[in-house]
Every structure is written in structure tokens, then in C-alpha cells.
Amino acid sequence: MVDTHCHLIDPQFIKDLDAVLARARTAGITRIVNTGYDTETSDQAVRMSRQYPWLAPAVGIHPNEAADQSIKEMGRIRELLENDCVVAVGETGLDYYRDFSPREAQKELFRLHIVLAKDRNLPILIHTRNSIEDAISILKFEDFHNGVFHCYSGSYEQAKRILDMGFYISFAGVLTFSRRIRDLIRKLPRDRLLLETDAPFLSPAGHRGKRNEPAFIIETLRAAADILNVLPEELETILDRNASLLFAFKE
């Protein structure tokens, strides 16, 4: 099972990373997309993959970082992309909910990530919060079709347009307790679905309010299999194939 979006570079994992990784292995996790959210954590994700090759790094600057400053730092992200181990550009996107950065600067930062992804022929990890329409417009304008809308929270109608553009849609532990997400996932084509933990955030039911970790994705897998009325093993095979196609994992 692949955890397609996780932040093992987060300081919350410093103390017990080896124990977290051991539990992930025991739970059957074979690969984790270890996602940076600024230059420092992106650099760290690349370094971690040297020690743990099954942690596939993604490099980018999250829209909640100060966008004006981040635009100046994109040269560092470009440098990090020269490492062949990097499987995706991100986390990037637009966040109008927290709105820590001016929207115009966020849009520019998002565009810069798209340009790098095009250049390196890599998928992007897209974060949206109250911003799906603008994200779709920018992706259309840039004529870019490779990536995933992570921790999806939009409508079915928006999901259809995103799928038509060629993107994948990923769900986190929220699907274990959100009726709206359960109803949505049922209507989506299985060959375009992914699951993730977004750990240390967004714990599934049973762990809410506590730190999330990759091993918990199995609970989300079971919940999704239940919603879709398939065996967890069957769904796992489909999801792993989707992840391999999107991220072009080596080996």
C-alpha cells in the first residue's frame, strides 16, 4: 500500500521516526510520498530518501508559506528537482481559507511550480482550500494535466471537471467520518482515486485529535473498501497501480 501524501519531514516525527517507519512497514506500507512544504523540508525529504529509498520525495512550497518570500526561493526548488529520486512537485496550490498570503502572490507561486513540473515532466501535488475554481483556471491556462488534487474537499461537479482534465483525486482519513466525502467517493472512477494520510495531520476516525502516521492509512483503506463494496486487498491493488502510474516509481 502506498501513502501518496505524507509529511515525515514535519518536526512532529523527529523524535520517533524509526518507530513510525517500522509501524508503517508492519502495516504493509511499501512506499510513502514524503512531501516538503518549504525549501528546508523539501531538502530534507531528498536527503531522507538517500537513507530510506522507499520514502519518495516531493519538493515544493506550500501556499500557506509567505508567498512573496517563497517566489524568491523557487530557485532552490528548481535545484532540488535535479535529484532523480524526486517523484513530484509540491506541495503547492492555493489556500483562500487561511489566506496567510496575498492571493495574487499565491497564484504566481502556484504557476512557478507548474512551470517546473512541466520542465521536469513530473506530476504536481495540489492543495486547495476554497480555491478549486482558481486552481482549475490556472492549470487550464498553463495547459497542464499531470498531478493530483490532494485531500479533496470539493463538489462532485468540480471533481468531474478535474478528472476530465486528467488529474487524480486523493482522499485522506476524513473519509472515515465525513458522510459528504463517502457519498462523493462512490461516484468517482476507481482508476483515478488515491489515498493518503497527510500525516501528521488529518487523523482518521479513532485517532482524531492525535498525530496521524502512515500506518493508519490501512484504516482509511478499509473504510474506502467498505464504501465501494470491494475487498480491501482488491482496492489496494487498484490504488497502488494508480499511484505507480502517476508517480512513475522506479523498481
Residue closer to Zn ion, measured from CB, 3 or 179:
3
- Answer for the pair 168, 147: CB distance below 8 angstroms, yes or no: yes
Candidate segments 10-18, 42-50, 196-204, 229-237, binder of Zn ion by CB under 5 A: 196-204
Residue 236, interface with Zn ion (CB under 5 A)? no
The grid cell for 194 is: 488515491
The grid cell for 50 is: 538517500
Write down the least CB distance from residue 167 to Zn ion, Å: 16
Write down the least CB distance from residue 233 to Zn ion, Å: 27
Candidate segments 87-95, 101-109, 166-174, 230-238, binder of Zn ion by CB under 5 A: 87-95
The residue nearest Zn ion at its CB is: 198
Candidate segments 16-24, 80-88, 132-140, 197-205, binder of Zn ion by CB under 5 A: 197-205
Residue 3, interface with Zn ion (CB under 5 A)? no
Residue 198, interface with Zn ion (CB under 5 A)? yes
Residue 38, interface with Zn ion (CB under 5 A)? no
Size, binding site for Zn ion by CB under 5 A: 2
